Amino acid sequence: MPNFLYTCALLTLFIACKEQTTSFVVQVPAGTKQTHIDKLGKTIIPNGRIIRPQGKTYSIAPHPYGLTLSPDGNTVITANSGTNPLSISIIRNAMSDQPEIQQIPEGARTDKGILASVFMGLAVTPDNSAVYVAGGQENKIFIFDLKTGDNKGFIDCSVINEQVDYSHGYIGDMVLSADGRKLYAVDQINFRMLVIDVESKTIAHNIPVGRYPFGISLSPDESRVYVANVGMYEYSRIPGVDPANPLETALKFPAFAYQSRESIEGIHTDTLEVPGLGDPNVPESFSVWTIDLDKQKVIARVKTGILVGEVLEDIPAVGGASPNSVVSTNQYVFVSNGNNDCISVIDVERDTVINNIFLSPDKRLGNLRGMIPFGLALSPDQKRLYVAESGINAVGIVDIPSMKVIGHIPVGWFPSKLAVSKDGRKLIVANAKGYGSGPNGGSTFVLGEEGSYLGGLMKGSVTILDIPTDSELKNMTRQVIENNFRFTPVDSDEFKWRADNPVPLFPGSKDSPIKHIVFVSKENRTYDEVFGQLENGDGEANLARYGYNATFSNQSRKDTVAHVTVMPNHLALARRFAISDNFYVDADHSADGHRWLVGTYPNEWVETSVTSAYGGARSMRQDSKAPGNLAFDGASGAIYPEDYNEAGSIWEHMERNNIDFWNFGFGVMFAPHYSDNVLFKESGYMHAINYPVPAPIFDKTSRTYPTYNTAIPDQFRIDKFIEEFDEKWMSGKDTMPQVLTIIIGNDHGAGERPEAGWPFRESYMADNDLALGRLVEYLSYTPYWKNMLIVVTEDDSQGGVDHVDAHRSILMAISPYVKRDYISHDHTSFGSIFKTFWNILGLPYLNQYDATASDMADMFTDQPDFAPYNALPVDIRMFDPVKAYDPLDEEFDWSALEESPELDNPQYLQKDSEEQDKRRKEEAKQSKSLNPRDN
């Protein structure tokens, strides 16, 4: 049954069945252009869309997720909760032609004594003298002099008494009373709103609210506070799990499927006790709560947007609304629903939703989601509502009297928070990702104090612009559409070359000879690192540290390997089949990368949580009593219910469209978990929290295939894959599913372990390379090969450097139906992979990202070559597979798994980045270059 998002009546663009027709093909505007930053012209970001902000834009520190304007209208302040340094930016004389920008702390320096944590919340005193800054996990509110930037101390938000233990908190959004005497703030993990007496710097009241309170607003008469709760569940540790003995007590696989009876009620047996999660639609989840400040109590709990499981056009919604930001007038409360692409309007007298205003710049997009409404701001006359549309890099304008969207303004990448000047003439926008990262290596890259780590290069920005007239808004709306989408009629001459291409132009346009798709995910590499020496691609050979003719040493410099090909199978597969030199991951880190990999675009909850965690400012504590302590925490390889999209992930999409699939290791890597110190070798992770997995993969995921853990050789994973494949689909009992998903992640890298077969960092790349070669070899000798496509990519690129962009990564197409020794220059992204899948499988598109991406058709040919592939051996000087793992050796040293790093551990990655930067500086001094040679 086609998803309600794609019904024929509302959407003729996208195809759900072969009998339907379509008028347009939608692609991103990049074409064959590479991602690049051009602040005076058109910036192309990794997903192929264009950034051309209106007004004036100023670069600041990474990821400004908080923004406020001083009462006198002269100073803009942002809270920057991205990768170190955590900071605030103060923009003085902001409305002038030459504003003064101060970073606290300055530059790339982090002063733990000043801002050990910062998250979103900001408020300025009525006399414009000081700014309050939410301290995130420090459980404090910091105070800074607005004129000098000097530290003026803090307000301690911790409370411990017989009734409560708020010693561990996470302070976020906040608002100050007009007289400056009361400060109202949310504590995300304690599910509370704080009422703070500013003069005494003490907490006057702690008022319980819903799960993971995210946004807060004070009514104009200051009699009420409105809190938006972005969470779904309160998670629990599984009783009986002994941290000292997880191998015997923790779970090898997550306990239950999302929304199953077990997930609601829990599991209760003689040997297992797993607490249930309850109903996802309780008042505490995805709701807006109203607090009466005179009574100091909650007086209303309103659910907004589309409920979990609500059936629209025969399809139940998978994710909740994700209400995140809230503003109020005398008559209405407006709430942005990040997952539903709409603004809920609550009548303040009736405490009831009276309207949902849906956002979309073009009706040709139908109901496909991906706008990600985030920050909200009101005009002084309360006639206009401004909405940060993070997904399309724009600000939407809603006419409040008519409750209609009247246009969109182009701004920077991922606008987060907004403010309107006191005279109503200026709009101020915080853009979390600014213009992007740009390159982080290569001959023209200058290594600055931020280093080459992607997180430090992703500068945020602030855009200040004149609010347009209605006539000007029409042109700006047109520009927003052009920045994001390119609509081309299907009968255009542009597509004539695709008549015989194995990838249909759109789902259902024709049958494809490809019947089986194998989707392979790896970890953290860039294009230049592996393919920089290939002559037909745009690479820099000096960056190809895992290519041909490499020479490297271990960390102590005592052992060296010279003139070796580190990843021979990757290079041989590139020459035999097709790759792209213009492919970019949408993700900045593994945590958001693993969401993109399953077709789930990260909402505002994920983006803010991930950047805070990678900045070292969001962590779980074992001793915490906070009910939200177990919410998403940094480096994770799974999706959580809080960030499920309305239409779900690829799993739900395939299940409801009757596509058979099987999963090897994807999407089950929850954090926290046990993997670093003890491991069950046939799982990779051990689980101690009652997180649910997406329902479709609970019964369609291998229980013997290990997920991410670099201490498990990728050779072991391929052995387990072959063993299971043989048993399931080569015995004649069943047929290979249409889609397989596989993770082989040791190219993430880890510490040197010569005694276990990994004497160099490069050893992990060699392990991963041999595993990929063996996988392709095995599959190419099966009878399914003649109708197979293998797509290989990375979850993110943060482990390496690239001269085009830090997001440029690996995309490989391996099939009888791909061109030989071919490098595609079409701009592609994660959405391109899924668009290709849906076109081949005849499925409707899942969201705006896959529907509007450019597909991978350029890499394919209608002249198949069915010859199998034979894997190339590894140089045992780098990696000894026998030493690392002998499948028959049960005496293998599993205690060595203690040295396996956490997935994308921020401290590990930044240390590794610093070491690589140091090494690159040394190599640059030596002026040695790598010489490519044919395989």
Instruction: Tell me the pLDDT tens digit for each residue of 91-143.
Output: 999 999 999 999 998 865 555 556 778 999 999 999 999 999 999 999 999 99
Closest CA to 702 of 668, 750, 665: 665
Q: What is residue 903's predicted lDDT score, i.e. its pLDDT?
A: 54
The pLDDT confidence band at residue 830, using thresholds 50, 70 and 90, is very high
Res. 12: pLDDT tops 50: no
Res. 520: pLDDT tops 70: yes
- 807 with 593: CB under 8 angstroms? no
- 8 with 769: CB under 8 angstroms? no
Q: What length is written for the chain?
A: 935
Residue 798: how many CB atoms within 10 A of its CB? 32
- Sheet containing 140-145: give its strands across: 122-124, 130-134, 140-145, 151-156
| Two domains, one topology: 43-235+277-487 and 499-600+648-666+701-926 | no
Which single residue is written with the structure tokens 């959407």? 11
Chosen CATH of 43-235+277-487 out of 2.130.10.10, 1.10.533.10, 3.40.720.10, 3.10.290.10: 2.130.10.10
Q: What is residue 595's predicted lDDT score, i.e. its pLDDT?
A: 92
Q: Which residue has the higher pLDDT, 216 or 894?
A: 216
d(CA 123, CA 315): 42
Per-domain residue ranges for the chain? 43-235+277-487, 499-600+648-666+701-926
Res. 696: pLDDT tops 80: yes
Please tell me the least confidently modeled range out of 20-34, 321-335, 534-548, 594-608. 20-34
The CATH architecture one would assign to domain 499-600+648-666+701-926 is: 3-Layer(aba) Sandwich (3.40)
Instruction: Note the pLDDT tens digit of each residue in 879-924.
Output: 988 888 653 343 433 333 333 445 555 555 555 666 666 665 555 5
Q: What is residue 371's predicted lDDT score, i.e. its pLDDT?
A: 98
Which residues, 6 or more positions from 96, have their beta carbon under 8 angstroms from its beta carbon? none
Q: Which residue has the higher pLDDT, 4 or 742?
A: 742
756-775: buried (b, 16+ CB within 10 Å) or exposed (e) per residue?
Answer: bbbbbbbbbbbbbbbbbbbb
Q: What is residue 655's predicted lDDT score, i.e. its pLDDT?
A: 97
Q: Which residue has the higher pLDDT, 213 or 270?
A: 213
ω into residue 85 within 30 of 0, thus cis? yes
Q: Report the pLDDT averaged over residues 251-264.
A: 95
The pLDDT confidence band at residue 4, using thresholds 50, 70 and 90, is very low
- 851 with 835: CB under 8 angstroms? yes
HSE at residue 745, side-chain half, CA atoms within 13 A, is: 35
Closest CA to 419 of 124, 695, 735, 208: 124
Which residues, 6 or more positions from 530, have their beta carbon under 8 angstroms from its beta carbon? 544, 546, 547, 567, 570, 571, 810
- 34 with 90: CB under 8 angstroms? no
Q: Is 202 exposed, middle or buried (0-12, 13-18, 19+ CB in 10 A)?
A: exposed
Q: What is residue 917's predicted lDDT score, i.e. its pLDDT?
A: 61
Handedness of CA 750, 755, 756, 757 (dihedral sign): positive
List the beta bridge partners of residue 69. 76
- 133 with 115: CB under 8 angstroms? yes
Res. 350: pLDDT tops 80: yes
Instruction: Note the pLDDT tens digit of each residue in 229-255.
Output: 999 999 999 998 888 887 788 888 999
Task: Pick the most confident of 17-21, 246-250, 603-607.
Answer: 603-607
The pLDDT confidence band at residue 934, using thresholds 50, 70 and 90, is very low
Please tell me the least confidently modeled range out of 76-80, 169-173, 267-271. 267-271
- 134 with 173: CB under 8 angstroms? yes
d(CA 277, CA 627): 13
Res. 438: pLDDT tops 60: yes
- Residue type (1 letter), 766: A
Please tell me the least confidently modeled range out of 665-669, 861-865, 891-895. 891-895
DSSP state, residue 47 = T
